[in-house]
């Protein structure tokens, strides 16, 4: 029984050793979100500055891990006044908490489990995973693409600012949709 366990550990380790680390191609990646506005429409935004990497096993075609950061000061909803408000203490408090981070803890099937840290609070979340595939580009670089999406409740992270509207409902919805598209270049 002990030999079987050692064998299984060696197989798991060899899979990790055969996997490649992929650094993000920022020009072909995005970190976006959507939030309800006045309960009837959706505001879209993104973080223009972010970075990260992921480990992908080409042989098994499985994601091993993913981690990344986003610069809160780079938030962009295409409305400067709204972006300024989102950076303020009412929401992200970018002066005190300038970075969002995500680190995977487990990947099972098409789900990525991990820890999201936002506004100084870390919570476990689950994101849906779609692996687009791997190619060799015209310059000889190995590239892999994947997308992650899910939802988080912003109030779980202390982002509680809101206003009740006269007609009912609130100005900003609590559930935020996350949409992340990553294209990575295998490190050599």
For the chain, what are the domain ranges? 20-186
From CA 180, how far away is CA 28, in angstroms rounded? 11
What is the Cα–Cα distance from 2 to 183, expressed in whole angstroms?
41
For every residue of 66-95, DSSP letters joined together read EEEEEEGGGEE-S-HHHHHHHHSTTTT-TT
- Predicted pLDDT of residue 39: 66
Q: Which pLDDT value is given to residue 154?
A: 81
pLDDT of residue 160: 76
Tens-digit pLDDT profile for residues 100-130:
999 999 999 999 999 999 999 999 999 999 9
CATH code: domain 20-186 is 2.40.128.110
- pLDDT, one tens digit per residue, over 11-50 is 444 444 468 899 999 999 999 998 876 666 678 899 999 9
């Amino acid at each position: 029984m002990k030999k079987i366990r050692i064998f299984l550990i060696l197989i798991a380790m060899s899979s990790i050793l055969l996997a490649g680390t992929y650094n993000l191609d920022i020009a072909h990646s995005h970190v976006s979100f959507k939030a309800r506005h006045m309960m009837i429409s959706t505001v879209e935004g993104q973080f223009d500055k972010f970075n990260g990497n992921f480990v992908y096993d080409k042989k098994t075609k499985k994601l091993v891990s993913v981690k990344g950061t986003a610069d809160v000061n780079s938030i962009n909803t295409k409305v400067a006044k709204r972006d300024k408000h989102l950076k303020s203490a009412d929401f992200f408090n970018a002066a005190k908490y300038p970075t969002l981070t995500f680190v995977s803890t487990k990947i099972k099937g098409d789900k990525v489990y991990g820890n999201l840290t936002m506004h100084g609070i870390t919570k476990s979340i689950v994101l849906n995973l779609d692996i687009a595939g791997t190619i060799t580009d015209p310059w000889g670089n190995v590239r892999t693409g994947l997308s992650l999406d899910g939802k988080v409740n912003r109030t779980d992270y202390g982002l509680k600012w809101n206003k009740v509207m006269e007609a009912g409902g609130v100005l900003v919805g609590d559930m935020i949709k996350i949409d992340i598209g990553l294209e990575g270049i295998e490190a050599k």
